[in-house]
């Protein structure tokens, strides 16, 4: 009996010692953390995998300030390898860096437009199984090569490169020029029977201000978001740009919409937060403009129906609140009697933009990126009957109408506008 007790005590002590061990762990100086990962089409059916690795030596020196040892060089190391797959590429790059490449802190996965047009299903499925992948990482489509984007993306205001990708979410809420998409969202949309995926566009802008489009007086437009990533006429230290949205059908990219169209896209999904809009003065007409700062007052109202012949009708009501932010001419729109004039004009302006975008997705892309299918599937009792209905193939024939309701809540710092001597 005593021997049995001693044996049990010995086994208990041994198990405690074994449980406290960290046999599968790695020391910090044995690991290199990948901050962003890019994928391009390679030669001979291969893939070019590019990683942006945190240069902890430089980052620590930069953070030290005046009291620390200042390190020279970039705060990231960018390396590429041509291989047959993402995970194989990581192993091959590890042999060069001398450290284990970890995806535990990876903030972004960037696919080239060329690769996206061929389809991303295989690569997304492969990556989703990897135990180090973070489902909350952002996913982008790059106009051009992802390798070039990672090499030339140098945010001058950020000490840590990861901060740039963390700020992407909040910046989208500030202007609505692109839609955020995490790895989890994209993976779910690729497999969904109710909606098609979409991803934000990124690119490198090599030029300066010469890419600006004509202004209103020269026959051009006045929308601030009428550009795609890589076209925005901005000059400065960082050449990286994020604007517009890539549209997918299944896992294949079939087109793209501009930053301005992305705003309408977000409104139709109920995900638009804030943004500045310009539209033509309804009284004075061109070239007079009015500027609104707009946010979505509440979620859209969707009314869906299925007719006897199988056709679908969708009615969407969008509710917006606006602040009067800018005017080129001196009409007293602060007057309560005149407010409905600009409210109606802006509602018609946004309504036309939404209808044009829906028509484009139906005729050109044939892709429901608005999640209309999730509203429609409530008419079906079982998953199988919903699959048999085949909504994604029926979407191009659906009748979709949009009604926009705008209310001007504030008029800025002006209580009354008086005409200037030139007006």
Averaged pLDDT, 395-401: 93
Same domain, 237 and 271: no
Give domain status of residue 6, yes or no. Answer: no
Closest alpha carbon to 138 in 116, 167, 114, 159 = 167
User: How high is the pLDDT of residue 77?
Assistant: 86
Give domain status of residue 342, yes or no. Answer: yes
Q: Mean pLDDT in the chain?
A: 83
Q: What is the CATH number of the domain that holds 335?
A: 3.30.300.210
Same domain, 175 and 309: no
pLDDT-derived band at 264, boundaries 50, 70, 90:
very high
User: How high is the pLDDT of residue 66?
Assistant: 45
Give domain status of residue 2, yes or no. Answer: no
Give domain status of residue 20, yes or no. Answer: no
User: Taking the C-alpha atoms of 375, 378, 380 and 381 in order, what is their torsion angle to the nearest 10 degrees?
Assistant: 160
Give domain status of residue 243, yes or no. Answer: yes
Residue where one domain finishes, among candidates 237, 257, 277:
257
Q: Is the pLDDT of residue 261 over 80?
A: yes
Range of the domain at 381: 261-423
Contacts of residue 169, Cβ cutoff 8 Å, sequence gap at least 6? 138, 180
Residue where one domain finishes, among candidates 257, 280, 314:
257
- pLDDT tens digit sequence for 372-391: 999 999 998 999 998 989 99
- The rounded distance, in Å, linking the Cα atoms of 109 and 194 is 25
- HSE, CB side, 13 Å, CA atoms: give it for residue 413: 0
Same domain, 181 and 50: yes
Q: Which residues of 159-193 are buried (b: 16+ CB within 10 A; e: fewer)?
A: ebbbebbeebeeebeebbbbbbbbbebbbebbeee
Same domain, 296 and 409: yes
Neighbouring-strand partners of residue 31: 100
Averaged pLDDT, 171-185: 88
User: Taking the C-alpha atoms of 95, 96, 98 and 103 in order, what is their torsion angle to the nearest 10 degrees?
Assistant: -80
Give the E-state strand segments of 149-221 in sequence order.
Answer: 198-204
What does residue 382 show for φ and ψ, rounded to 5 degrees? -130, 160
pLDDT-derived band at 347, boundaries 50, 70, 90:
very high
SS3 208: coil
Same domain, 177 and 310: no
Strands 138-143 and 198-204: parallel
Averaged pLDDT, 301-314: 90
Residue by residue, DSSP assigns 92-125 as: HHHHHHTSEEE-TT--EEEEEHHHHHH--HHHHH
Give domain status of residue 19, yes or no. Answer: no
Residue where one domain finishes, among candidates 212, 227, 257:
257
Q: How many domains does the chain have?
A: 2
Same domain, 146 and 267: no
Percentage of residues in the chain having pLDDT higher than 90: 35
Q: Is the pLDDT of residue 268 over 90?
A: yes
Same domain, 223 and 314: no
User: How high is the pLDDT of residue 401?
Assistant: 95
Same domain, 247 and 274: no
Give domain status of residue 238, yes or no. Answer: yes
Same domain, 90 and 155: yes
Give domain status of residue 9, yes or no. Answer: no
Residue with structure tokens 């004509």? 214
- The rounded distance, in Å, linking the Cα atoms of 41 and 43 is 7
- The burial class, CB within 10 Å (0-12 / 13-18 / 19+), for 51 is buried
Angle (deg, nearest 10), helices 121-128 and 86-97? 60
Predicted model pTM: 0.86
- pLDDT tens digit sequence for 408-417: 888 766 656 6
Residue with structure tokens 């004009």? 345
Same domain, 199 and 245: yes
Same domain, 248 and 301: no
Same domain, 146 and 99: yes
């Amino acid at each position: 009996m005593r021997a049995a007790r001693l044996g049990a005590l010995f086994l208990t002590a041994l198990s405690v010692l074994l449980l406290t061990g960290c046999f599968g762990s790695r020391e910090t100086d044995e690991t290199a953390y990948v901050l962003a990962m890019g994928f391009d089409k390679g030669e001979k059916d291969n893939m070019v995998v590019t990683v942006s690795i945190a240069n902890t030596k430089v980052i620590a020196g930069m953070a030290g300030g005046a009291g620390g040892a200042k390190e020279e060089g970039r705060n990231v190391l960018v390396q590429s390898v041509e291989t047959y797959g993402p995970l194989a590429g990581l192993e091959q790059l590890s042999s060069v860096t001398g450290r284990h490449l970890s995806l535990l802190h990876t903030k972004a996965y960037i696919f080239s437009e060329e690769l996206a047009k061929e389809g991303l299903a295989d690569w997304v499925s492969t990556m989703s199984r990897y135990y180090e992948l973070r489902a909350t990482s952002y996913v982008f489509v790059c106009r051009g090569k992802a390798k070039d984007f990672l090499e030339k993306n140098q945010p001058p205001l950020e000490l840590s490169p990861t901060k740039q990708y963390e700020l992407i979410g909040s910046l989208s809420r500030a202007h609505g020029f692109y839609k955020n998409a995490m790895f989890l969202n994209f993976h779910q949309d690729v497999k969904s029977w109710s909606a098609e995926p979409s991803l934000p566009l990124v690119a490198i802008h090599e030029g300066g201000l010469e890419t600006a489009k004509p202004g209103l007086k020269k026959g051009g437009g006045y929308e601030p978001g009428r550009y795609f990533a890589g076209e925005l006429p901005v000059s400065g230290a960082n050449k990286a740009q994020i604007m517009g949205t890539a549209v997918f059908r299944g896992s294949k990219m079939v087109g793209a919409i501009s930053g301005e169209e992305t705003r309408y896209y977000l409104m139709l999904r109920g995900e638009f937060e804030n943004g500045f809009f310009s539209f033509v003065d309804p009284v004075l007409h061109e070239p007079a403009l009015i500027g609104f700062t707009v946010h979505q007052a509440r979620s859209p109202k969707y009314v869906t129906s299925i007719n006897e012949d199988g056709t679908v009708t969708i009615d969407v009501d969008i509710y917006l609140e606006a602040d009067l932010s800018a005017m080129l001419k001196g009409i007293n729109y602060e007057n309560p009697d005149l407010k409905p004039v600009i409210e109606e004009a802006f509602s018609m302006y946004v309504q036309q933009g939404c209808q044009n975008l829906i028509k484009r997705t139906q005729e050109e892309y044939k892709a429901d990126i608005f999640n209309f299918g999730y509203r429609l599937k409530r008419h079906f009792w079982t998953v199988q009957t919903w699959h048999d209905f085949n909504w994604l193939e029926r979407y191009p024939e659906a009748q979709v109408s949009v009604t926009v309701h705008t209310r001007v809540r504030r008029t800025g710092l002006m209580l009354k506008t008086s005409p200037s001597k030139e007006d």
